[in-house]
Structures are given as C-alpha cells and as structure tokens.
C-alpha cells in the first residue's frame, strides 16, 4: 500500500518509528516531513499531506502532531480528504468502516508506540462498509452551506 505520512516537530520521533515499521511490512511510505524536531507549523504539513492524498500519491495517510487535533483540522480543510483523529484501534477501524476516512491522525503526546501501531494496523486493513453510511459520507463532501472555509 502507498502511505503518505506527515507530522509537526512534536511527532517526528513517532513518524520515524511508524515509517520504519511500515516499510518493514512492505508498504511504500512517502514521508512528507519534517526531517528534524526543529519547530514547524503543523498546518503546513497537514496541507501537504492533504494535497498528496487528493493528488493520488497515496492510498492512505497518517497525520501526526502533539495532540493530533491541529494537524487533523488542517488535513480536513481539503474537501477531497477525510481525516479521523483516533486513540485506539476500534476507533481507527470505525473511521474506515463508517466514515471512509483516508487519513488517520494521532497525537504523539497522547499515544504510545504500540498503541499507534495497533491503530495504524486497524486503519490499513479496514474497508468502507458503504450502505447506510454512504449517504452520510456524501454529506461530508457536500455540506448544506455555501460559505467559504475560514
């Protein structure tokens, strides 16, 4: 599977560990940075990840920052991408099954390495269930308001 991954400075170590682990499993990982833990702004990396996903450069994405909140908001600004912030494997599975999320977000300050791996594994093997969930997911891409995003 082609997986894009990005983080901010707070999650560089988790990103490096997950990248190595995923490559060891045979996945093609596109590391969008940053390369060091020097201070950066998470929106820059969230936007880069969203653009890579929308351009078809990856099948799934992983977004990481200190809490997972900021970068997930940045990724979700792109209308063609759905990012879910999770903290356990069941939520990761539901993000795929019910919400057809293509990007998984996690907080490096809130999740350990083993739990992060378990979340990623659940996310990667999950499929969208469709059915009653499809109409709801369609509404996520077509909201009832025409206001421009902030």
* pLDDT values of the chain reduced to their tens digit, one per residue, 150 residues: 999 999 999 999 999 999 999 999 999 999 999 999 999 999 999 999 999 999 999 999 999 999 999 999 999 999 999 999 999 999 999 999 998 999 999 999 999 999 999 999 999 998 875 677 877 878 787 777 766 655
Q: Report the C-alpha gap between 53 and 30 in whole angstroms.
A: 11
65, 78, 83, 119: the active-site residue:
65
Helix (H, G, I), strand (E, B) or coil at 113: helix
9, 78, 83, 98: the active-site residue:
98
pLDDT at 131: 75
pLDDT at 89: 97
pLDDT at 137: 78
Q: Report the C-alpha gap between 120 and 144 in whole angstroms.
A: 32
Q: Where are the alpha helices (DSSP H) in the chain?
A: 12-24, 42-54, 69-76, 89-97, 113-125, 132-141
65 is catalytic: yes
pLDDT at 145: 73
119 is catalytic: no
What is the spatial order of strands in the sheet that 103-107 belongs to? 28-31, 2-7, 60-65, 103-107, 83-85
Q: Report the C-alpha gap between 71 and 144 in whole angstroms.
A: 25
Q: Are 41 and 14 in contact (CB under 8 A)?
A: no
């Amino acid at each position: 599977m082609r997986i894009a991954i990005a983080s901010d400075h707070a999650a560089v170590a988790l990103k490096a560990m997950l990248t190595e682990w995923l490559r060891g499993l045979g996945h093609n990982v596109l590391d969008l940075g940053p390369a060091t833990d020097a201070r950066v702004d998470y929106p820059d990396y969230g936007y880069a990840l969203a653009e890579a996903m929308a351009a078809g450069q990856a099948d799934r994405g992983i977004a990481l920052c200190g809490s997972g909140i900021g970068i997930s908001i940045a990724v979700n600004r792109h209308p063609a991408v759905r990012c879910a912030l999770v903290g356990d494997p069941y939520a990761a599975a539901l993000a795929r099954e019910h919400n057809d999320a293509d990007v998984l977000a996690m907080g490096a300050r809130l999740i350990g390495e083993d739990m992060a791996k378990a979340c990623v594994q659940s996310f990667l093997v999950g499929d969208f269930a469709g059915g009653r969930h499809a109409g709801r997911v369609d509404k996520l891409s077509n909201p009832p308001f025409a206001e421009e995003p902030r």
